[in-house]
């Protein structure tokens, strides 16, 4: 059996966008690495982490916005569709772009792990590759299972050349162009 990849996708982008547009509100679909994926609906701790990060971003970088769940065109030649938990970008970056926006202007993509069987493949493998290929300068993974934050930087040829992982509770510096310092002690309350 031939594996599905961005070279041999499950379906066309047009078909995926039609499917995603008809999905019920309780289901969030993504199209990463040629495969349709169901993104889990976040639980309360997941939502609180996103709100915590949103507050940090607004306090330290009022010129930017952390857009939750904005659909982005990712993967080779923009043939993928992802919904990061947050996309940090200048104000009005997504005005007029619709449900699936170009990633131009996005400074950081954020994912918060969920408690499901696809987390490793989706958030730790496929999403970093897609975001790097899209040229997003920083990918921030808040990993509730590992109680850590991983900062991926220097996207080149579909991968981030640099990754740094720190445990919850330490200070994490998000480099330029983000330029935010995260005091992560509070994340210990939301782990798991």
For the chain, give every domain's residue range.
42-190
pLDDT tens for residues 3-37? Answer: 445 556 677 778 877 877 777 766 676 676 777 77
Look at residue 1 in the predicted model and tell me its pLDDT. 41
Is pLDDT at 2 greater than 60 in this prediction?
no
From its phi and psi, is residue 34 left (phi > 0), alpha (psi between -120 and 50) or beta?
A: left
CATH 3.90.1570.10 assigned to 42-190 = yes
pLDDT tens for residues 28-79? Answer: 766 767 777 776 666 789 899 999 999 999 999 999 999 998 999 987 655 7
**Residue 153 to residues 77, 107, 129, Cα–Cα distance (Å):** 20, 11, 12
Instruction: Give dist(CA 110, CA 127) in Å, integer.
Output: 10
Instruction: Give dist(CA 28, CA 109) in Å, integer.
Output: 17
CB atoms within 10 A of CB 3: 9
Look at residue 103 in the predicted model and tell me its pLDDT. 95
Is pLDDT at 93 greater than 80 in this prediction?
yes
């Amino acid at each position: 059996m031939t594996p599905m990849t961005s070279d041999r996708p499950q379906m066309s982008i047009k078909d995926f966008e039609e499917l995603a547009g008809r999905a019920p509100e309780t289901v969030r679909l993504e199209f990463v690495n040629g495969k349709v994926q169901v993104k889990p609906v976040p639980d309360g701790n997941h939502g609180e982490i996103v709100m915590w990060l949103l507050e940090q971003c607004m306090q330290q970088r009022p010129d930017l916005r952390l857009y939750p769940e904005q659909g982005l065109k990712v993967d080779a030649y923009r043939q993928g569709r992802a919904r990061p938990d947050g996309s940090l970008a200048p104000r009005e970056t997504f005005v007029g772009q619709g449900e699936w926006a170009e990633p131009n202007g996005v400074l950081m993509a954020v994912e918060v792990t969920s408690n499901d069987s696809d987390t490793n493949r989706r958030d730790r493998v496929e999403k970093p590759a897609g975001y790097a290929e899209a040229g997003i300068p920083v990918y921030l993974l808040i990993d509730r299972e590992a109680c850590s934050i991983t900062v991926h930087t220097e996207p080149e040829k579909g991968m981030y050349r640099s990754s740094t992982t720190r445990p919850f509770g330490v200070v994490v510096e998000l480099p330029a162009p983000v330029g935010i310092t995260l005091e992560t002690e509070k994340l210990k309350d939301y782990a798991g």
